């Protein structure tokens, strides 16, 4: 069965430091992969997506993710985080015209 | 820009009462979705629709009904609300094939 695992419920990083949020998926075939961000008391917003081609995809606000098929991973990265990046980040995989969601990772930025 | 709106934004209901949550999208997307979000569970799909007149059960449909009277509107109905349905509800629209979904701001429902 298709599934998405985000192993870290919370990640704390210092402002200006680099970031990696982990996402592992289980899917037979070529996956469509997504990262969404949810700011406090708001809906989810699409951060970036991977359909095919270059395994490194760029998103908004300096975020990028790399699709590694051999590892079934789609980790999210950012070179230097800002306090405004504090949010919950969700990874998802497309399946049967729906999205299978991970449980989310809360990103906390230390000043 | 894509726009999904939800009403009401906050709702307090009594146990056993009927609750209707409304969603409107101006994206002209065929697909619409209702999710609930609870701490520890992430997003869970309740009902979805492929177009006007169609509704499908998602992963947790018990206690909920859905209605899609038009391309733009998708409602979630709780006929007999229970405290366990206290949650934040999100509506989303999407094209289906591309899998991208666009979310509304959410409705915070409290059932007392």
| pLDDT higher than threshold 80 for residue A68 | yes
pLDDT at A1: 78
| Nearest residue to B9 via CA among B75, B107, B111, B92 | B107
Phi, psi of B2, rounded to the nearest 5 degrees? -55, 140
Identify which of A99, A81, A98 has the alpha carbon closest to the alpha carbon of residue A90.
Answer: A99
Cβ–Cβ gap B99/A42 under 8 Å: no
Partners of B30 on chain A (C-beta within 8 Å) are none
Cβ within 8 Å, pair A43-B90:
yes
Checking if the pLDDT of B2 tops 60, the result is no
**By three-state DSSP, how is residue B69 classified?**
coil
Residues 36-75, chain A, touching B (beta carbon < 8 A): 41-46, 49
Kindly identify which residue of chain A lies nearest to residue B38, measuring between CA atoms: A103
Q: pLDDT tens for residues B4-53?
A: 999 999 999 999 999 999 999 999 999 999 999 998 778 999 999 999 99
What is the domain count for chain B? 1
pLDDT 10s digits, B64-89: 999 999 999 999 999 999 999 999 99
pLDDT band at A93 (very low <50, low <70, confident <90, very high): very high
Q: For A3-110, give the CATH class.
A: mainly beta
Question: Which tokens in the block code for residue B93?
Answer: 């629209």
> What is the band of B1 on the pLDDT scale with cuts at 50, 70, 90?
low
**Separation in Å, CA of A4 to nearest CA in chain B:** 11
Confidence at residue A18, expressed as pLDDT on a 0 to 100 scale: 97
Q: Which residue has the tokens 């409290």?
A: B110
Q: Name the pLDDT band for A98 (thresholds 50, 70, 90).
A: confident
**Would you call B104 and A43 a contact, using CB atoms and an 8 Å cutoff?**
yes
Q: Which residues of chain A make contact with B100, given a CB cutoff of 8 A?
A: 34, 46, 49
- CATH number of the structural domain spanning residue B13: 2.60.40.10
pLDDT the model gives residue B40 = 72
**Host domain of residue B39:** 4-111
Can you give the pLDDT at residue A63?
Answer: 97
**B57-88 b/e (C-beta count within 10 Å ≥ 16 → b):** ebeebeebebbbeebbebbbebeebeeebbbb
Taking an 8 Å cut-off on Cβ atoms, the answer to whether B100 and A46 are in contact is yes
Q: What does the pLDDT read at residue B53?
A: 96
**Residue B40 CB neighbours (<10 A):** 7
Domain layout of chain A by residue ranges: 3-110
Kind of pairing between the strands at B42-49 and B31-38? antiparallel
């Amino acid at each position: 069965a298709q599934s998405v695992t985000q192993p870290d419920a919370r990640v704390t990083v210092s402002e200006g430091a680099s970031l990696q949020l982990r996402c592992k998926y289980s899917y037979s075939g070529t996956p469509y992969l997504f990262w969404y961000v949810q700011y406090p008391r708001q809906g989810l917003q699409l951060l970036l997506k991977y359909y095919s081609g270059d395994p490194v995809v760029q998103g908004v606000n300096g975020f990028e993710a790399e699709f590694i098929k051999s590892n079934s991973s789609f980790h999210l990265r950012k070179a230097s985080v800002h306090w405004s990046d504090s949010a919950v980040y969700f990874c998802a995989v497309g399946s049967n015209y729906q999205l299978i969601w991970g449980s989310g990772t809360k990103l906390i930025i230390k000043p | 820009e894509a726009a999904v709106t939800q009403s009401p934004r906050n709702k307090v209901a009594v146990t056993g009462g009927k609750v209707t949550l409304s969603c409107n999208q101006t994206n002209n997307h065929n697909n619409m979705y209702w999710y609930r979000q609870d701490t520890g569970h992430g997003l869970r799909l309740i009902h979805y629709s492929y177009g006007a007149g169609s509704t499908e059960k998602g992963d947790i449909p018990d206690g909920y009904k859905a209605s899609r009277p038009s391309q733009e509107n998708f409602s979630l109905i709780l006929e007999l609300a229970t405290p366990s349905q206290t949650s934040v509800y999100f509506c989303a629209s999407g094209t289906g094939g591309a899998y991208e979904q666009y979310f509304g701001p959410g409705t915070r429902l409290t059932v007392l």
